[in-house]
A and B are shown apart, each in its own frame.
Chain A
Amino acid sequence: MSLFQLLNGLTFAALLFVVASGFTLIFGLLRIVNLAHGALYLFGGYIGFTIATKLGSFTLGILGAMAAVAVMGFALNEGLLRFVRGFELRQVLLSLGVAFVLNDMSLVIWGGDSFTVPIPEELMGGFRVFGTFYPKYRLFVLLMGILIFIGLWVLINKTRLGALIRAGVDDAEMVEAAGINIQRVFLMTFLLGSALAGMGGVMGGAFLSLYPSADSEILVFSLAIVIIGGRGSLIGVGVGSLMVGLLNTMGQVMFPELAYFVIFGPMAAILAFRPMGLFGKAV
């Protein structure tokens, strides 16, 4: 594997981390497997694309997409999921129904063509990394992935909200009994997780492009990462993203047509030996 491919794998892993961290946060704390997460990613990407092309600002695109997708997450959580609280399977299937509607709506609004989010001038071109010419933008994605990892780590380990989230992952009822409004913590987490999906959509939309089935593809990767890394563990998402990102890139180099199959291997191995994932806690 050349350095170029290694960097490709790492940057892809960074994008996956941004998307999957939101997914696993929601899964870990709220016990909601939000299968609309992929659709939120796609919507975020499209919204970011529209803002970035209309206003000519990539930053505004990212911020706008995050805000818009957080609002969508709010509507999903407060408008629909509240009716099925406490029923795990019904929640999952409901979010799947929502994913179908969102995917179809994006087709109505933006059509079936594929779009690429325009990147700002400063990020165009490339660097020479150890003799390999590499696009700046992808290194920016890698950097963002690392920054978000650090940001989330600080949030979860060093802040009050983070302490509540951790406590909620372990035992939400006890937290509530301690006089904390756990529903607010749930909502914050849901908004944060959704915003991360929106952000991922814009970031990914600039180098993977956006098309109608992009949401399912990113969702499968997120699922694989959660299965590998375990529920509600930040380190787990990090390791899972690295594994899936690197393996997928390797697979594309070695047998391009079956690249998808490569993520199946680690998933199978981990399920065989650690069904709760590498860093997951037994429920």
Chain B
Amino acid sequence: MSGLSRSKSPMGALVVVAVLAVGVIAPYFLSRYQIGLATQILIFGMLAMSIDILVGFTGRTSLGHGAIFGTSTYVVLYCVTQAGMSPYLAVLLGIMSATVLAAIFALLAVRTNGVYFLLLTLALGMIVWGICLRWTQVTGGENGLRGDIRPKALADYKDFYWFILALAAMVTFGIRRFVNSPFGLTLRGIRDSDSRMRSLGYNVPLHLFIGFTMSGFFAGVAGAVYAFFNNFVSPSTVALTQSVESLLMAIIGGVGTLYGSFIGASALIALQNLVSSHTERWQSVLGITFTLIMIFAPEGIVGKFRALRAKYSAKH
């Protein structure tokens, strides 16, 4: 068991505490714009981490998580701006609808694996996008939904950052506990060989269903607070680009590393900001980055670093 369970070294705990401490005091040194970026990184880091549950720990690559994330955003904005609900209730409803949507995706997706899983989640995500684009009465079509919906308690951008930081810490902790739980270990077993897990008597489709739904729940959490952050949602939030960006974050960070998601999110969001200030061709840059990573570093930056280090220490 010890080989599989989490590393409980004091060093690891120290690093976590240090990173958190830096995160907490960061707003005192950063500009408003930079704090906005940091908030964005935390939100998308959570989304990327929810994808990592599937990609890194279950061996299933999803291209539908942008849609799950964005559905939550849509529901929150709709509930507050159109239905006049309280933002807190709206967040609950948003997370619930993302979870239900993920469960529907999961019902179909558990029957597939490999490329088919990817194709199916892609197609399902695109259907959600198509609906958001066309169902103008509810979603506002291309114009989307807009409204200042952030609750008063979080109105200040620094307070909001701290709230997101706390949430991200909780979500990270939750996901870590989930993938390291006995149930999480069965997911890893499925990743490595689902036929073996089946012959051991595990109900593989059921486990996949639960894993996918949980992943969708966390994506929904990220999507709901994104509604507070952005105060706006349009079809591009549920579009394929969203799924691709967040998958890329998980991959850049290194699949199966969880914390890597935040590194991936930082890298991609930094790149996006850098590129956007020079050119409008972000989509091309994204596509090229994706292509290059697939050719040269499919294990991601963290993974590449680990591999290089292993190579180095093997030599010396």
Q: Which residues of A contact B (CB under 8 A)?
A: 31, 33, 35, 80, 83-84, 87-90, 92-94, 96-105, 107-108, 216-217, 219-220, 223-224, 226-227, 256-261, 263-264, 267-268, 271-272, 275
Selected from A31, A80, A96, A223, the residue in CB contact (under 8 A) with B295 is A80
Q: Mark B159-192, 1 if CB is under 8 A from A, else 0.
A: 0000000000000000000000000000000000
Q: Which residues of B contact A99 (CB under 8 A)?
A: 287
Q: How many A-B residue pairs have CB under 8 A?
A: 118
Q: Do the beta carbons of A216 and B240 come within 8 Å of each other? A: yes
Q: Which of B3-11, B37-45, B108-116 contacts A (4 or more CB under 8 A)?
A: B108-116
Selected from B118, B124, B130, the residue in CB contact (under 8 A) with A92 is B118
B262 CB to nearest chain A CB (Å) = 21
Selected from B108, B284, B286, B290, the residue in CB contact (under 8 A) with A271 is B108
Q: Mark B44-82, 1 if CB is under 8 A from A, else 0.
A: 000000000000000001010000000000000000000
Q: Do the beta carbons of A98 and B291 come within 8 Å of each other? A: yes
A23 CB to nearest chain B CB (Å) = 11
Selected from A33, A108, A219, A272, the residue in CB contact (under 8 A) with B281 is A108
Q: Do the beta carbons of A103 and B283 come within 8 Å of each other? A: yes
Q: Which of B18-26, B134-142, B212-220 contacts A (4 or more CB under 8 A)?
A: B134-142
A227 to B240, CA, bound (A): 19
B window 128-151: CB within 8 A of A: 129-131, 134-137
Does chain A have a CB within 8 A of B13?
no
Q: Do the beta carbons of A260 and B281 come within 8 Å of each other? A: no
A267 CB to nearest chain B CB (Å) = 7
Does chain A have a CB within 8 A of B210?
no
Does chain A have a CB within 8 A of B93?
no
A107 to B281, CA, bound (A): 10
Q: Do the beta carbons of B123 and A94 come within 8 Å of each other? A: no
A84 to B297, CA, bound (A): 11
User: If the complex has contacts A89-B115, A263-B127, are A98 and B287 also in contact, measured as CB distance less than 8 A?
Assistant: yes
B109 CB to nearest chain A CB (Å) = 8
Q: Do the beta carbons of A97 and B289 come within 8 Å of each other? A: yes
Q: Do the beta carbons of A272 and B127 come within 8 Å of each other? A: no
B118, B126, B287: residue with the most chain A Cβ atoms closer than 10 Å: B287
Q: Do the beta carbons of B108 and A268 come within 8 Å of each other? A: yes
- The residue in chain A whose Cβ has the minimal distance to the Cβ of B139 is A257
Q: List 12 A-B contacts (CB under 8 A).
A: A93-B247, A96-B287, A97-B291, A99-B287, A100-B244, A101-B291, A223-B122, A257-B135, A258-B134, A264-B124, A268-B108, A271-B111
B window 261-301: CB within 8 A of A: 281, 283-284, 286-291, 294-295, 298
Q: Which residues of B contact A267 (CB under 8 A)?
A: 108, 120, 123
User: If the complex has contacts A257-B136, A259-B134, A261-B131, are A275 and B116 also in contact, measured as CB distance less than 8 A?
Assistant: yes
Q: Which residues of B contact A220 (CB under 8 A)?
A: 123, 126-127, 130
B268 CB to nearest chain A CB (Å) = 13
A233 CB to nearest chain B CB (Å) = 15
A263 to B130, CA, bound (A): 12
Does chain A have a CB within 8 A of B92?
no
A227 to B108, CA, bound (A): 12
A257 to B127, CA, bound (A): 12
A220 to B120, CA, bound (A): 10
Q: Do the beta carbons of A101 and B240 come within 8 Å of each other? A: no
A3 to B290, CA, bound (A): 46
B248 CB to nearest chain A CB (Å) = 9
User: If the complex has contacts A101-B284, A258-B134, A264-B124, are A223 and B290 also in contact, measured as CB distance less than 8 A?
Assistant: no
Q: Do the beta carbons of A101 and B134 come within 8 Å of each other? A: no
User: If the complex has contacts A89-B61, A96-B244, A260-B127, are A271 and B114 also in contact, measured as CB distance less than 8 A?
Assistant: no
